[in-house]
Amino acid sequence: MDIRRALTPAELSAAESLFDGPARQEWSERFLTAPGHLMLIAYVDGVPAGMVSGIEMNHPDKGTEMCLYELSVDEGYRRRGIGRALTLALADEAKERGCYGMWVGVDTDNEAALATYDAAGARDEGVFSMRGWPLSQQP
C-alpha cells in the first residue's frame, strides 16, 4: 500500500468511488487550493482503496488543530489496516504542520470507525450533540 496526498482534480476524480457522491471539478479545485485542506489517498496496486481528508482549524486562543473530516475504505479492502494507516498518516501530517491535536466526530454506533480510531491511538473525549442549518439544496 502506498499513501499519497492528492494534488490534482484528476486524482480526486479517480478516487470518487470512495466519496458519498461524484467529485465536482469546481469543488475539487476549491478543496485543493484552500489553505489547510488536504486529502490522502491509499493505493493498492495503483487502485485508490481508501482516503482520509483533513481540515486545519484555527482559533486565536487555541492555535491550530486538525479535523479529520472524512475517512473511507472501499468495501473490498476493509479489515487490512488501511483505515488505521490513513488515520495515522493524517496525524503525522498534522504534527508536521504544528497542530496541537486532531479530532473527529463519530456516530456512536459506528463500530468500525470507533475501532479504527482506537487502533490509531485516539482518546475518547466524550459524546456531543450536533445541530445543523441547511442553507441551500446542497447536502
Ligand X SMILES: CC(C)(COP(=O)(O)OP(=O)(O)OC[C@H]1O[C@@H](n2cnc3c(N)ncnc32)[C@H](O)[C@@H]1OP(=O)(O)O)[C@@H](O)C(=O)NCCC(=O)NCCS
Interface ranges with ligand X (CB under 6 A)? 71-73, 78-84, 104, 106, 110-113, 115-116, 119
- Name all contacts of 44-50 with Cβ < 8 Å and 24+ positions apart: 44/1, 44/2, 44/77, 44/82, 48/14, 48/15, 48/17, 48/18, 48/74, 49/1, 49/73, 49/74, 49/76, 49/77, 49/82, 50/18, 50/74, 50/77, 50/82, 50/83, 50/86
Q: How far is the CB of 74 from ligand X (least distance, A)?
A: 8
SS3 13: helix
Q: How far is the CB of 89 from ligand X (least distance, A)?
A: 12
Write the single-letter amino acid at 18. Answer: L
Nearer to ligand X, 35 or 132 (CB): 132
Nearer to ligand X, 28 or 87 (CB): 87
Nearer to ligand X, 32 or 122 (CB): 122
The residue number whose beta carbon is nearest to ligand X equals 83
Nearer to ligand X, 123 or 137 (CB): 123
Q: How far is the CB of 41 from ligand X (least distance, A)?
A: 13
Q: How far is the CB of 13 from ligand X (least distance, A)?
A: 19
